[in-house]
Amino acid sequence: AMETETKELACMSSVIPGWFSEISPMWPGEAHSLKVEKILFQGKSDYQDVIVFQSATYGKVLVLDGVIQLTERDECAYQEMITHLPLCSIPNPKKVLVIGGGDGGVLREVARHTSVEQIDICEIDKMVVDVSKQYFPNVAVGYDDPRVNLIIGDGVAFLKNAAEGTYDAVIVDSSDPIGPAKELFEKPFFESVNRALRPGGVVCTQAESIWLHMNIIEDIVSNCREIFKGSVNYAWTSVPTYPSGVIGFMLCSTEGLEVDFKKPVNPIDADESSIKSHGPLKFYNSEIHSAAFCLPSFAKKVIDSK
């Protein structure tokens, strides 16, 4: 058993034996590491390598193609922010589409909103859904909501065929632009999102780190300014197990009713029914919502100039 475990760890590109190190050309010269207690699952889907391991200090960890997607300890920071930043910025969201997000964590957060009537999710990789249901019940609990409608397929194709003006909000919970998520960062995809949203509808997409990917962010911002005729804003949050410890979101609205993302109009942190049905929020509140749009000077300069 020891021997297979050593072999498995080698597949996980460890720098330190017994530790998982996240090595990728997307962040050359650095690799965040977590101590591995036990590998729980290793598989290869049609799209990516899938690993689940028990870490020493962050609970269970989901890794796709060598990149950490979530840990039990800090997933709240990401899931709550990517969901409530858009949904708390508009009154009464009813139809919500999630692209990616196969783990179900975003669904769990969308489900807190009682105004929501329909939650569609289009995830490309069924293995992510199955693995999450097996190993991350507190995240995959999002699938239990009767409003959820799961489509296994490519988010790009799904949005191309979506009826015009359908959604109040689209949340793009994608992996990085190397691999199946590449097109989710490109202009034609944003054009389909714009089409599928109702006037004054909102989109929130995973938009990488200001410390590592200002070049990717610049492109996303300039594409979005061309396509979305309402507001276009960048927000960010702290997620310790993501490269550089921070992750950003691109928030845009379509032409029509005006949306001021910095002033939430639909607070969820004080919502008794959300707390009753889903437990208290661990990260999001209305103050951190507004603060998320304050940028360090170096990032502000670049983003404002686009």
The reply to whether 264 sits near ligand SAM by the rule CB under 6 A is no
| CA–CA dist 266, 116 (Å, integer) | 12
φ/ψ of residue 36, rounded to 5:
-95, 125
81 in Cβ contact with 246 (< 8 Å): no
Radius of gyration of the chain (CA): 19
* Bridge partner list, 197: 167
At closest approach, how far in Å is the CB of 26 from ligand SAM?
A: 14
- Select from 55, 58, 93, 103 the one that contacts ligand SAM (CB under 6 A): 103
The reply to whether 250 sits near ligand SAM by the rule CB under 6 A is no
**Helices assigned H by DSSP within 111-198:** 126-135, 137-140, 155-161, 187-196
Give the contacts of 284 (CB within 8 A, at least 6 positions apart). 80, 81, 84, 268, 269
Q: Which positions from 115 to 154 touch ligand SAM by CB under 6 A, shown as an x/- string?
A: -------xxxx--x-------------------------x
Name which of 66, 148, 164, 43 is nearest 105 in CA terms. 148
- Select from 93, 155, 177, 230 the one that contacts ligand SAM (CB under 6 A): 155
Q: Which positions from 50 to 69 touch ligand SAM by CB under 6 A, shown as an x/- string?
A: --------------x----x
From the list 53-61, 97-105, 258-266, 286-294, the region that binds ligand SAM by CB under 6 A is 97-105
Give the contacts of 152 (CB within 8 A, at least 6 positions apart). 122, 123, 124, 125, 126, 129
Q: Which positions from 184 to 223 touch ligand SAM by CB under 6 A, shown as an x/- string?
A: x---------------------------------------
The reply to whether 248 sits near ligand SAM by the rule CB under 6 A is no
End-to-end alpha carbon distance in the chain: 55
- Select from 20, 78, 228, 234 the one that contacts ligand SAM (CB under 6 A): 78
Closer by beta carbon to ligand SAM, 93 or else 100:
100
From the list 177-185, 208-216, 220-228, 229-237, the region that binds ligand SAM by CB under 6 A is 177-185
Query: Angle between the 214-227 and 187-196 helix axes, to the nearest 10 degrees?
Result: 40
Angle at the Cα of 284 from the Cα atoms of 154 and 266, rounded to 5 degrees: 85
The reply to whether 102 sits near ligand SAM by the rule CB under 6 A is yes
Total binding residues toward ligand SAM, as defined by CB under 6 A: 26
Around Cβ 145, how many Cβ atoms within 10 Å? 17
Closer by beta carbon to ligand SAM, 78 or else 234:
78
- Select from 55, 174, 205, 223 the one that contacts ligand SAM (CB under 6 A): 174
- The residues carrying an active-site annotation are 173
Q: Contact residues for ligand SAM (CB under 6 A)?
A: 64, 69-70, 75, 78-79, 99-103, 105, 122-125, 128, 154-156, 173-175, 180-181, 184
